[in-house]
A and B are shown apart, each in its own frame.
Chain A
Amino acid sequence: MTDSSQPTPVVRVSGVDKQFTVGHGVTTALDGIDLEIGRGEFVSLIGPSGCGKSTLLRLIGDLTAPTAGSVEVNGKPAHAARRGREYGMVFQAPVLFEWRSVSDNVKLPLELLGMDRSERDARAREMLALVELSDFASHHPYQLSGGMQQRVAIARALALQPSILLMDEPFGALDEMTRERMNAEVLRIWQQTGTTIVFVTHSIPEAVFLSTRVAVMSARPGRITHVVDVALPQPRNDETREDPRYFRHVTEVREALRSGGALGAEPALVSEERMAAEGGIG
């Protein structure tokens, strides 16, 4: 699965720098990022807050533009991929529209695509079955728990059957138990759909458990310092978490973070969220 030597990778980030103007100063969020992600891979971006991992994800999704370098998705510039609706996005908050039912939230991207009604209905049913929320199709978001809302967001992101799913700390707001269940859910969906996933997290166990590769980043300037291949058998389950190899990989990622100056570093002065907001919606 980890075959980044494919002729056209799903994501190719080459020589990307990203700078934000904050007040009178310029902050370098990303510096010389190179990353290739092959079809069907599950790649996590991990690093301390302020390392630019969310910014890197936004660059791949063309929600912000690089200061230098290029981002290609499916062999096209990122903005062409966005125009072609080639990816799905899941944020830390579910970002459901409260005036729409669960099923209508999933249909939102399909409406924007101009798909006809019967096809939309069928696709929404299919997606809700995938995230096991068929019984809640006519509920409204406020009637669901946080974990369920995030599953609706995943169903919505997958509704266009994108070749790539971008997830920005999607389970960061959930409790540990729910998070572990959601991890299993995402792996199941990944295997069922074959979608390439790029996943931002600051949880080491989560990154190791989910990923085929973990890109470890350091803060200020944000750089990819290590790429850890996670050679754990698929499908992964509760036993994976007790596998000695799992612990070895967790240690490996932790040490990579430490050598990148990540652990024990002083807290970032400007939060990543702030920087994303400054440079975000162009």
Chain B
Amino acid sequence: MTAAAPSVGVPLPPRPGRLLRMGRTVRYYVPAIMVFIGVIVLWELAVRGFGMQAFILPAPSAIGAALVENWGAGRWPLFEAARVTLFEAVGGLLIGTTVGLIVAFGIARWATARDAVLPFAIAANAIPIIAIAPIFNAWFGITNPLSKMMIAALLVFFPIMINVTRGLTQVEPSALELMRSYAASDWEILRKLRLPNALPYFLTALKVATTLSLIGAIVGEYFGGASNVIGRVVVQSASALRFDVTWAAILLGAITGIAFYLAIVALERVLIPWHSTVRGEHPG
């Protein structure tokens, strides 16, 4: 079908071919990969060249060896440790996100709820997490993973709550007028305008929350609990001067965090392909 009258629009540029797009993707990641490799090589050379002691800084090769060696066996089976820590983090993320969402919807709907709840939410956010962790361990049982989950949940709650509230309330005034001109009910406005508007805000907060939930879980573990978790492995291997294991545990924690983060990025691409943060030229 072709337009009879002069078309006002501009034709879309043709989508680049698959190969070309893959090429662009590779080229986009090349600088980061080069920097990464460069840093690892320099690190290795520096440790060997200056004869650095392992307790100051183990060589990347030593860390890699420790990771492989302790993957499923030894005093600190790292894979199992990462699995338990991730379990705590995911649990905390779920709890914190659920409560954050409930509070956000309440705040967005009722101004009274906002005035009543917001000061406490801000106060909760201001509590130093290090200070609250031992208390939560006592409250929810030091060996119970729930104590670590609650610490993670406390960290996760605030960004989720604030961002979702923003997404639900910071709707274009003209979009509200449009809905009003159609005599839309509050429920329809929520479902067709506020919710889709809040989705990108929610996913942005969720990305931050993944990292925070891991931090919360690991900090909780520092103050005691089940022995084979990332936080305990870090504490114990360091006091045993096995810094190669400490670094391996930190590395594994970081990889877990990145994987967790990337899972949300993937979710974002499925849920909000239309959003400016997702449809940009560059992947990642």
Residue numbers of A with Cβ under 8 A of B are 61, 63, 82-85, 87-89, 91, 93, 95, 97-99, 108-109, 111-112, 132-136, 139-140, 142-145, 147-148, 151, 160, 178, 181-182, 184-185, 188, 277, 280-281
Contacts and interface: CB of A to CB of B under 8 A. Distances in A.
B239 interface: no
A88 B199 CA distance: 28
Nearest to A94: B174
Interface in B226-274: 272, 274
Contacts of A140: 274
Most interface-central of A61, A112, A133, A148 (chain B CB within 10 A): A112
A63 B175 contact: no
Given A142-B279, A145-B8, A178-B8, A98 B274 contact: yes
Contact of A87 (B3, B10, B179, B181): B181
A184 B5 CA distance: 10
B275 A91 contact: no
Nearest to A177: B8
Nearest to A81: B183
Given A111-B192, A112-B188, A136 B182 contact: no
Nearest to B6: A181
B181 A134 contact: no
Contacts, number: 87
Contact of B182 (A85, A93, A99, A185): A85
B108 interface: no
Contacts of B7: 132
A82 B184 CA distance: 10
Q: How big is the B interface, by class?
A: 20 to 34
A147 B279 contact: no
B175 to A, nearest CB: 5
Interface in B44-59: none
B4 A132 contact: yes
Interface string B159-188: 000000000000011111111111110001
Given A143-B12, A144-B9, A134 B1 contact: yes
Nearest to A63: B177
Nearest to B9: A148
Contact of B272 (A99, A112, A145, A160): A99
